[in-house]
Structures are given as C-alpha cells and as structure tokens.
Amino acid sequence: MSNEIDECRILYSQKRYEEAIKSGLTILADKRVLTATDSSTIFTTLAYSFREIGAHTQALIYAKELAAINDRNGIGESSYLFLPGFFSSTGQLDSALLLYKDLEQQCLHDPEKEDYLLLKTWNNIGYLFFKKSELDSALIYYDKVLKHPLAKSTYSDIYGLAMGNKGQLFLFSHDYAKALPYLRIDANLTKGKIWQSYNSALYGIALSEFNLGQISEAETTMKTLLSQKNKLNDQLLKYYLLMSEIQSKKGREDLSKQFLIKYIELSDSLKKTDIPTQHLVDQITQSKIDMFEKELQLKDNQLQLIEIKEHESSLQNKIYILVIILIVILLLFTIVYFIGYQKRKRKIHELETNLLHSKLVNKKEDLNNLVKSLSFKHQFIEDFKSRLKVILRLPSDEANVELKNLHQDVASYSVIDKNLELLHADIEKVNTEFIMRLEKEFPSLTAKEKELCSMIVLNLNSKDIAILKNVSPEAVKKARHRLRKKLNIEIDQDIREFLIARNP
C-alpha cells in the first residue's frame, strides 16, 4: 500500500494530475485501513490535483477531509493555513475570511506564533475584503502590515505585497498619483521573489504613469514588464492593450496597430481555448469520478471473468481465435474495397475536372468573341446616332429609304443581347462548383460580386468586363477594389491567382 501511495504522490509532483486523481480514488475505493499519515497524503494529493484541473468544488470536498484528518491527529499543515484558499476558489469568501480571522486571533494570543504568519494573515484578510469590494476594511488590514515594526526590515516580501495591494486600492479608485509610490515600492521588494506581484506592480505603475501623462516613463515600464519570462495570457491581454494606447499617444500608429493586432490574436486564441465555467468543470469532474468508479468495477468484473475462463475448455479458445481471424479477414477485405473505391472516386473526379476545364476553355473563347461583338455593337450605336442626324436633314422620301436601311442594320445586331444572356447562363452553369466554394468560404458575397469573380477567373480585363456589363471601366475598377477588401486579399497578391487557387 505504501508503494501505491508514493506513486500517487509522485504523479502529482510530475503534474500528471488526472492520473494522480485516478490513483488516489482507486486507493480509497479499496476501503483498506490507512494510517493517519497515509490518509493525509491521499487527501492532500486529491485536493490539490482537483484544484490544478480547475475542479474547485471537488477540491474543497477533499480539502475539508484533509483538514479534519490533520486537526484530529495533530499532523500536517493546520487547516487555517490551506483551507481558506480552497474556500476562496469556490467564491465562499465569508468562510475563508472567518478562518483567517480565527488564525489572526491565535497569532495575537500565542507568543510562539511567528510574526511572519500574522503579517501574511493580515495581508490575506485585506485581499479578501478587496475581493468583497469592502475597500475601507481592506485598507485597515494592509496598514496593519505596513505599520508592524518588523515588516519592512525583516519580512520585506510581505511588506512589498501589502504596499502593492494598497497601491491597487488607489488604482481601483483611479487615484493614480497616490497609487504610484506604493506600487514602485512593491516592485522593488518583490522583484525576483514573487513574480506575480512584481508583474502586477509594473502594470499598475505603467497604468498610473500613462494616466498622469508620463507617457515615456509608462513606455519604459511596459517594456520591462513585457521582457519578463513569466507572464499569464489573460494579463498579457491588458499589457498589449496599454502598450497600444501608449504608442498611439506618442504618434506611432504603426506600432500601436501592431500591439492591437497582438491583443486581438491572443484574445481570439483564448476564446477558442476558454476555460469552462465552474459548473461545467464540476460536471466534467463528476463524470471523471464516475468513469474511474466504473473502471474499478470493470476491473473487478474482469478479474472474475478471468477466473471463469481458466475453467473453460481449449475448444472455446480456438473458437475465439477463429472469430478474430474472420474479423481480421473481413477488415482486410473492407480496407481493400475502400482503397479501390477511393481510387475510382478520384478517377471520376479527375475526369469531371478535365471535362469542366474543357468547357471553361470553350466558354472563354465564346466570351472573347462576344466581347468583340459588343465592341462592334457600341461602335454601331455611335454610327447609328450619326446616321440618324443625317437622316433628319434629308427630304422625306430619301429619309424613309435611309430609315429602312437603318432598321435592317439594327435587326442584325439585336441577336447580340440574346447571345449575351445565353453566355451568362453557360458561365454560371460551368462555374457552379466554383461559385459554391466561394459561397461557402465567403458567404457575404453578392450575386454581382460572384459574377465578377467568374469573369476575372476567365481572364477578362476591366475594359472587357465593362463592355459585357454595359458600365464604365472605372466602375469595374471600383468593384474589383471592393471585392479585394471583402476577400481579404493582400496588397501584393494578384486577385486572379487568388481566385484560381479556389477553382482547381
């Protein structure tokens, strides 16, 4: 049993928390008699492992068991030292505060208690009041730490924490001038000792300097903060945002934009991997516990099954082997059939692609011919206007003859519009798969924008498209510019190459 308990403890020290939980629950499920020390080790491992995976409710359950074992047997850490943290993690701030207040009284009335424990307790009480938004009470306890005769000289780390926490109170109240000196002392005293407090102090200093108009000083402080090795992602979001504002104030819009992009990218990344809510974590944890219990039950059933199988005849074993062989053969046959099916499918797709390519080539030629016809049509319209002006000046007899000739010419060109409609239908039919891929990747594209994409793929320039659409080339250029923005195409990337990549 001692080996199993050591293994459980080692799994936790290696940060293999889920395996440590499984090991600890397995030991408890055996219902064997454990010594007080072994029980303390198991419940310690379970409580802290659950807390590490974010299952704070389950962690509190085992922390309470641990506190009861330690206090009853006089071993391990006192419940006052670790239990408040578990209560605080579940939002039970009043319970955590009650334990710290009890510990405070013990420290005040027991001369053997170290001053360090008292100062640390005062600081923790102040922080809990801060989380409860009771700022006046928080300030009282922080001042208790700062006014203690040994705080600054002997316990500089706790003194620095209290200074920083008091600075955070002023920061919370937007009193940046008062916050700044406290935060600077915190940074000096916690540098290289408590990195979380040091980073928090640096950020508070930079924020205060920024709001006090000390932009260059704020930039220097933020550079120091961003150079730190240890940084939490959710804190890094604030750092990027403040640095962006600092660069904007200094007129460095490009740098400001770079930090803003970092902020957006990190924010999106964190949203994708967002930590579940406490309720969901508890559900997941409970499911894992149920799974572990089922696995334990399954192991018992398997042991019973092994005992039964030892009494079975060799014929049954041969039957099992035969069944396995048949399954393997069936799987092999399925794999071979699937590979052949995939080859046939790829061949069909290749033939369809080649056919579609041929159709597109033909339609490109038709489209080029039609563009030429449309060009002639525009020229004809100009000639028509000129001839009509001449006819208006002719006598009525000559004018009638010329009008008949003009009518015949107009009829000969009317077929162009019909050909244009047929060609548009053919283009849409041939490009159906291309249009579907565009709609899937860029659902906000309008029908006209999708038609413009088809024409660009067919290698039509702005002038040809303008003729087809009966608009000015300038209008086509503006439409292409808007299309590039919608497709998020880089400035140096060719729009046709971008679209062809989506029309293999």
Question: Which tens digit of pLDDT belongs to each residue from 35-87?
Answer: 888 888 989 999 999 988 888 899 999 999 988 888 888 766 677 788 898 99
Task: Please give the span between the terminal C-alpha atoms of the chain, in angstroms, as a whole number.
Answer: 65
What is 50-77 written as a DSSP string? Answer: HHHTT-HHHHHHHHHHHHHHHHHHT-SS
How sure is the predictor about 306, in pLDDT bands with cuts at 50, 70 and 90?
confident
Looking at every residue in the chain, the average pLDDT score rounds to: 81
Q: With 70 as the cut, is the pLDDT of residue 417 above it?
A: no
Asked if residue 172 lies in contact with residue 183, where contact means CB atoms within 8 angstroms, the answer is: no
- pLDDT for res 362: 57
In the DSSP assignment, the letter for residue 275 is P
Three-state secondary structure of 234-255: HHHHHHHHHHHHHHHHCCCHHH
Task: Locate the domains of the chain by residue range.
Answer: 364-500
The Cα 504–Cα 502 span in angstroms is 6
Tens of pLDDT, residues 443-499? 999 988 888 888 888 888 888 888 777 788 899 999 999 999 988 888 888 988 888
Lowest mean pLDDT among 96-110, 213-227, 316-330, 400-414: 400-414
- pLDDT for res 275: 47
Asked if residue 322 lies in contact with residue 92, where contact means CB atoms within 8 angstroms, the answer is: no
| The residue type at 186 | D
Query: Which residue matches tokens 């406490």?
Result: 278
Q: With 50 as the cut, is the pLDDT of residue 284 above it?
A: no
Q: With 60 as the cut, is the pLDDT of residue 345 above it?
A: yes
- pLDDT for res 373: 60
Could you give the dihedral angle defined by the CA atoms of residues 485, 487, 493 and 495, in that order, rounded to the nearest 10 degrees? -100
Token readout for 326 is 């048949």
Residue 132: count of CB within 10 angstroms of its CB: 13
**Which of 127, 209, 219, 117 lies closest to 164 in space, CA to CA?**
127
How sure is the predictor about 269, in pLDDT bands with cuts at 50, 70 and 90?
confident
- pLDDT for res 352: 63
- pLDDT for res 33: 81
Tens of pLDDT, residues 346-400? 877 777 666 556 566 555 655 665 555 666 566 667 777 787 778 878 887 777 7
Residue 369: count of CB within 10 angstroms of its CB: 12
Query: Which residue matches tokens 């730490």?
Result: 145
Tens of pLDDT, residues 127-176? 899 888 898 999 999 999 999 998 888 888 888 888 888 888 988 889 99
- pLDDT for res 277: 41
Range 214-241 average pLDDT: 89
Q: With 80 as the cut, is the pLDDT of residue 291 above it?
A: no
Range 239-249 average pLDDT: 92
Tens of pLDDT, residues 96-120? 999 899 888 988 888 777 888 899 9
**Which of 272, 266, 196, 277 lies closest to 234 in space, CA to CA?**
266
Q: With 80 as the cut, is the pLDDT of residue 272 above it?
A: no
Tens of pLDDT, residues 420-436? 555 565 555 546 777 88
The Cα 204–Cα 183 span in angstroms is 7
